[in-house]
């Protein structure tokens, strides 16, 4: 697999404190990489570094295989960005906005129609942006970031504040994009979203990467050392994962008192709280 993003020992500070503290990770071609953490952890700061909106203090950053200082305009034509500031114009229709950005990027006009259809906005294309719902606006911003068919897509909290139906729709679009070969770098507060979408995640806290791996790997690494039994009396009993616990469970099974036996697996939010003690 080709390297798309690479950071090693990256530091950035604002005054007396580190915003990013020796941050290291990489993202490979075809991945959906989830960058997770609470507000103020450094997620958006990292994205701004990767898109050259901020400059690092020290360390190494490579984008699309190039040192970030050597990344040029044509390289950024291979990248799409969706951030909290859309850049779209409220007094223009969805279609007018996309035509404008298509002209800026020298994208063929027929790509506008294709992109509108892909994000399910073609029928609403004549709607003024200021009259769009938040979900429609978010899909319009996503469309603008996809017009030029980027290889690498940066998404900063793409479903924040949206209703469940719109979130599900955007998730479906992102899966389709990834299946077509787009590498996605996703920042989110939403642990369930990360679990559903991401092939690999990094958990950031106070500017430091404190854990990383696939959602499944993290759940196995931080699995609880106990087994939960639901008895025929509807009582929930917990036993340690050792010989003594096994003997107690066998006794219950022999007595016919067990309805279910399972080893509880933590979700990503529980893992985060375990590692940091912080709420989202």
Q: At what angle do helices 110-118 and 94-104 cross, to 10 degrees?
A: 130
Q: Which residues pair with 264 in a beta bridge?
A: none
What structural domains and CATH numbers belong to the chain? 3-214 (3.40.50.300), 224-264 (no CATH)
Q: Is the pLDDT of residue 242 over 80?
A: no
pLDDT tens digits for range 101-151:
999 888 988 899 999 998 899 999 999 999 999 889 989 999 999 899 999
| pLDDT in the model for residue 280 | 43
CA distance 187 to 174: 13
Give the up-direction half-sphere exposure of residue 256: CA atoms within 13 A in the CB hemisphere.
0
**Closest to 241 measured CA to CA, from 223, 260, 217, 268:** 223
CA distance 238 to 224: 11
Q: What is the mean pLDDT of the chain?
A: 88
The pairing of beta strand 152-156 with beta strand 79-82: parallel
Lowest mean pLDDT among 125-134, 156-165, 199-208, 256-265: 256-265
Q: Is the pLDDT of residue 276 over 80?
A: no
Q: Is the pLDDT of residue 279 over 60?
A: no
Q: Is the pLDDT of residue 169 over 60?
A: yes
Please tell me whether residue 43 adopts helix, strand or coil conformation. Answer: helix
pLDDT tens digits for range 6-38:
999 999 987 656 689 899 999 999 999 999 988
Q: At what angle do helices 110-118 and 134-146 cross, to 10 degrees?
A: 130
Average pLDDT for residues 154-158, to the nearest whole number? 91
Average pLDDT for residues 276-280, to the nearest whole number? 58
| pLDDT in the model for residue 13 | 84
* Residue 165's pLDDT band (cuts 50, 70, 90): confident
């Amino acid at each position: 697999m080709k390297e798309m993003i690479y950071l090693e020992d990256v530091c950035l500070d604002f005054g007396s404190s580190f915003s990013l503290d020796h941050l290291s990770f990489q993202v490979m071609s075809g991945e959906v990489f989830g960058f997770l953490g609470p507000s103020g952890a450094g997620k958006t700061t990292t994205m701004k570094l990767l898109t050259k909106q901020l400059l690092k203090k020290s360390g190494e950053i490579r984008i699309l295989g190039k040192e970030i200082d050597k990344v040029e305009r044509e390289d950024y034509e291979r990248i799409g960005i969706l951030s909290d500031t859309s850049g779209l114009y409220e007094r223009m229709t969805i279609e007018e906005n996309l035509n404008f950005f298509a002209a800026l990027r020298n994208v063929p006009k027929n790509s506008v129609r294709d992109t509108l259809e892909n994000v399910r906005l073609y029928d609403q294309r004549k709607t003024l942006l200021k009259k769009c719902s938040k979900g429609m606006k978010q899909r319009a911003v996503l469309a603008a970031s996809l017009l030029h068919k980027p290889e690498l897509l940066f998404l900063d909290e793409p479903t924040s504040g949206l209703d469940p139906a719109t979130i599900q729709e955007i998730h479906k679009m992102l899966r389709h994009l990834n299946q077509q070969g787009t590498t996605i770098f996703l920042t989110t507060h939403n642990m369930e979203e990360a679990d559903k979408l991401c092939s690999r995640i990094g958990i950031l806290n106070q500017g430091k990467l404190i854990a990383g791996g696939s959602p499944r790997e993290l759940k196995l690494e931080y699995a609880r050392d106990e087994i939960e039994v639901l008895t025929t009396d509807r009582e929930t009993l917990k036993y340690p994962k050792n010989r003594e616990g096994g003997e107690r469970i066998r006794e219950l099974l022999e007595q016919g008192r067990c309805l279910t036996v399972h080893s509880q697996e933590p979700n990503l939010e529980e893992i985060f709280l375990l590692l940091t003690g912080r709420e989202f």
